[in-house]
Amino acid sequence: MRAARFIAGLLVAVVVHFIGVRLFDDFTSFMDVFLVVALFNALGGSPIAGLLGGLATGWVADVMTGGLYGSYGFCNTVVGYGAAVAAQRLVIHKPTNVFLLFSLGAAAQQLLLVALGRLLRPGAATPELIWLLVLFLAVGATGLAGHLMRNRFRRWRARWRRSRTARLR
């Protein structure tokens, strides 16, 4: 079931990415929907799931963005693994902690992307600081919104199940 949710999230990310790129020229500068999916997968606390989820979302992001091939795969893998280990060892389920995890994940990803770009292409351009801040806030806000919606759905489902079993008795 978890794999099916991950694949569904990845498909939604692909659709959102297609629509976002068609509507805004700089969509990839201020939003990384694939990183959001990788971090949601890592919130479960399993380092292997975070690692593989980051790898899969990174590969899809590499195919979709057309940059240096393999850079998003590497960076999302590292960030997904780190987020899963953090979720395993820390209490990440409060809204402020979720926002911080998603924002710091975006910051770590961008730091790794810039470092890889400088290492592999010495004249590589770095993103502007304002776009980086917007990206950190957008990824954090998207992760927080998704987390709150998921919690609301879980509470609704638990109420529905309780009322359903109460009617059966």
pLDDT digits (tens, 9 = 90+) for 69-111: 888 999 999 999 999 999 999 888 889 999 999 999 999 999 9
Decide if pLDDT at 169 tops 70. no
pLDDT of residue 127: 85
* Radius of gyration, alpha carbons of the chain: 17
Q: Within the chain, where are the H helices? A: 2-23, 27-30, 33-42, 47-65, 71-89, 95-120, 129-168
Average pLDDT, the chain: 91
Q: Report which of residues 61 and 169 the model is more confident about.
A: 61
Half-sphere exposure of 4 (CA within 13 A, CB side): 1
At 9, is the pLDDT very low, low, confident or very high (cuts 50, 70, 90)? very high
Please tell me the pTM assigned to this model: 0.89
